[in-house]
Amino acid sequence: MRHALALIALLLAAGGPAPAQEVSLQAEYRRDAVDYDESVSEFYRLKTGLLFSEKSSFNAALVRSAGAEHCDYTWFLALNDAVSGGRLMVGHYTARFGGGLVLGRRSPFNPDDLSRRVSSTERDTFSGVTSGNPQYAFYGAAVSVDTGDAELHARFDSFFSSATRFLDADGYFSGGTDAGIDTVRSSNRTAAKSEPVCLENIGFGFSAVMGGSLRVQASSLLTRMSRPQGGSLLWDRESGSPGRPGTRSVSNSELFVEYREDSLGLFFEPAVSFVDRENDDGPLRTLTGYAYLCGFTFQGPRLEGTLIRKYTAPEYYAPYGASIGEQFPERAWFFDCALPCGVFSAGTSLSSEKKLKPDSRDDALPLSVKEELFLRAQRSSIDGSQLSYRVLTVTGNGETSRKRQLNARLKFKAFDRLAAALGTVVQSRSGARTSKLVSTSLGTEFGKINATAAYCRALVSAGNSLYAVIAPPEHASIPGTMLKRSAHVIAARISASCAGARFSIRTFHLLSAGEPVRHTLDISGQASF
């Protein structure tokens, strides 16, 4: 940490940013996923930010899970207007090239298996990490240089990351681990994970925009793992095989081509991976895999549509890839269509994802098909009302299972101060009885004070859990709750803002027969000076 602070002081002393124009502080206690984790825990988090100009700032975050022995932290310094056409970021950050086949940003975990995993819509190549969790972040420096005009604009992006993680002693001293590099996440030393290793990444990207319509980007990424004092370490090692082969490094490259004109958009992204394998006797072989992503979008006054095709071969390996769909190798289609008409929008959504590489849980490669029909209201007194019917069909291991869900929600606003909602969910699943849910909420606004109270009654059958979003906390990673038993749920949330300060508190109470009442409290406050 002291090296990080020394680097910040050096950059500030070099005359980059001016004295801070704004200081922000934020503190929160909540039960949620810290950022992309699938598990939910109680944690405390502190954030601070120094705004030097419209595009330059310093941010830091400290997070500690309840009962944990260690704190995690992230920080970054962004200098985006210190030099004309140049941008610099140091610290913890995420990165994205093209459509995410090689390098992408993860989306927060969604426990609702009827929902589709979407890719991040953020367009910036580099983004600072503000969650306090360094496990999914790069750590180092990133540079972007822009040049050109409206007719031809070019940009060069590069970054280097060396993030310290901890490995078990057996893997460290034997020269490799059976774990995948995406599971080497421990950022704190423990008895089980005691030896420091460096996850090293080097990435480059060059893009050109011609005429404001055609965009071409070429990028590459190199990933490897080493000891701090030098010497590479293997991962994905096959300890039971002769020579114990493992992966020494991975190189990924891609080309992203996008064309946009008025209401039409087209894109194509081929990608390739080169996995260098090595055993006890030295270099073994290089495994080559490929993937591609392509599609088109259309947005007109009476029709909006998207069609995307994705293919990632079983041999393709991109440990930092994050595009639409699942992370495992798959053959997939994604289709969305909406028909706006006044205050209503009707449409359909369809996805088909065929897994192409089995894991230990698969006797056969499953096929997942998700279908949805919806009717939504917008820009009116019933904004937020919707009626949807969703179906999930999974075929695999010689069986076909289906989950069907009807979701109706009526939301009404009156006098610009009151909002009431009434909703119901009916869900059926193969091999289980039907589960049902009824919810209601009432919200009011007085000046800069907002208050919402909600009640939910769920009748949940064994093996047919319901995912419900009930007055969620502000900016929650996982806003809903998975209800596995019949329950009464009461939630209330109040927030207030005044003169650059904001405070929010949310209480959640779940009562199930035969179990103690579960209470959850989420508190957050922030202020700017």
What is the per-residue DSSP string for 14-58?
A: TT-SPSPSEEEEEEEEEEE-SSS-SS-EEEEEEEEEEE-SSSEEE
Asked which of 31-40, 203-212, 219-228, 327-336 is least confident by mean pLDDT, the reply is: 31-40
Q: What is the mean pLDDT of residues 149-157?
A: 90
Residue 362 near residue 374, CB atoms below 8 Å: no
Q: What is the mean pLDDT of residues 209-230?
A: 92
Two structure tokens written together for 305? 């549509």
Angle CA 243–245–249, to nearest 5: 145
Tens digits of per-residue pLDDT, 369-402? 999 999 999 888 888 899 999 999 999 877 899 9
Range of the domain at 214: 36-42+69-288
DSSP SS3 for 12: helix
DSSP assignment of 211-225, as one string? TTTEEEEEEEEEEEE
192 inside domain: yes
211 inside domain: yes
**How many domains does the chain fold into?**
1
Q: DSSP letter at 136? A: T
By residue count, the chain amounts to: 529
pLDDT > 60? residue 8: no
- Give the pLDDT score at 178: 87
Dihedrals phi, psi of 3, to nearest 5 degrees: -65, -40
Q: How far apart are CA 92 and CA 60, in angstroms?
A: 9
- Determine what percent of the chain is predicted with pLDDT higher than 90: 64
Q: What is the mean pLDDT of residues 435-461?
A: 95
pLDDT > 60? residue 2: no
54 inside domain: no
183 inside domain: yes
Two structure tokens written together for 176? 């490799």
91 inside domain: yes
Mean pLDDT score of the chain, rounded to an integer? 90
pTM: 0.91
pLDDT > 50? residue 423: yes
- Give the pLDDT score at 18: 55
- Going by pLDDT thresholds of 50, 70 and 90, the confidence category of residue 9 is very low
- Give the pLDDT score at 210: 92
pLDDT > 50? residue 442: yes
489 inside domain: no
Q: How far apart are CA 505 and CA 259, in angstroms?
A: 45
- Going by pLDDT thresholds of 50, 70 and 90, the confidence category of residue 99 is very high
Q: What is the mean pLDDT of residues 464-473?
A: 93
CB atoms within 10 A of CB 448: 11
Instruction: Please give the sequence-ordered ranges of beta strands (E in DSSP) within 397-465, or none if there are none.
Output: 399-414, 418-429, 432-446, 449-459
1 inside domain: no
Tens digits of per-residue pLDDT, 255-271? 999 999 889 999 999 99
CA 191 remoteness from chain centre: 30
283 inside domain: yes
pLDDT > 60? residue 443: yes
Q: DSSP letter at 183? A: G
Of residues 164 and 117, the one with the higher pLDDT is 164
Dihedrals phi, psi of 134, to nearest 5 degrees: -85, 0
Q: How far apart are CA 475 and CA 191, in angstroms?
A: 34
- Give the pLDDT score at 39: 79
pLDDT > 60? residue 12: no
The conformational region for residue 244 under phi > 0 = left, psi -120 to 50 = alpha, else beta, is left
Closest CA to 260 of 217, 305, 214: 214
Angle CA 22–27–33, to nearest 5: 120
Residue 196 near residue 219, CB atoms below 8 Å: no
pLDDT > 80? residue 346: yes
Q: DSSP letter at 346? A: E
CA 258 remoteness from chain centre: 23
